[in-house]
Amino acid sequence: MKLSRPLSWFLLAFGVWSWCVWTTFVKNLIKDGSGLAFDAGHPTAYFWIHLALAVVSFLLGTVIGVVGFRGLRALRREAASGPAERPAETADVTDTTHTTV
């Protein structure tokens, strides 16, 4: 599958954005003073659920960003190697090398 340049940049930007947003969220979650994330110093269900959401978002952001990065890298390699030649169109040819006598 070939990705366009704008789509590749979007995917890479989404991965970076995801890391920025969720890193900030986790920092704020750990520093929570409202009592939602910690009760008497112990993590609550709220903390664990939101930490799990953050971990999944880190993983998805990483995968999506890597796909975007690889798309950009492939486009750069393609541009460096010159225009790609289209493969010759081949007709559906039946095999006539075996004949029955």
Query: Is residue 33 a part of any domain in this protein?
Result: yes
Query: Which domain, by its residues, includes 34?
Result: 5-81
- Give the pLDDT score at 35: 87
Residues above pLDDT 90, as percent of the chain? 67
> How many domains does the structure of the chain reveal?
1
Q: Are 47 and 26 in contact (CB under 8 A)?
A: no
Residue 83 has pLDDT above 70, yes or no: no
Query: Is residue 37 a part of any domain in this protein?
Result: yes
Per-residue confidence band for 88, with pLDDT thresholds at 50, 70 and 90: low
Query: Is residue 41 a part of any domain in this protein?
Result: yes
38: DSSP letter? E
- Give the pLDDT score at 87: 56
Query: Is residue 77 a part of any domain in this protein?
Result: yes
Query: Is residue 91 a part of any domain in this protein?
Result: no
Query: Is residue 28 a part of any domain in this protein?
Result: yes
Using alpha carbons, select from 70, 63, 77, 82 the residue that is nearest to residue 15: 63
Average pLDDT over residues 4-20: 96
Residue 95 has pLDDT above 70, yes or no: no
CA distance 3 to 7: 6
Q: Are 14 and 61 in contact (CB under 8 A)?
A: yes
- Give the pLDDT score at 86: 52
Query: Is residue 89 a part of any domain in this protein?
Result: no
CA distance 23 to 101: 75
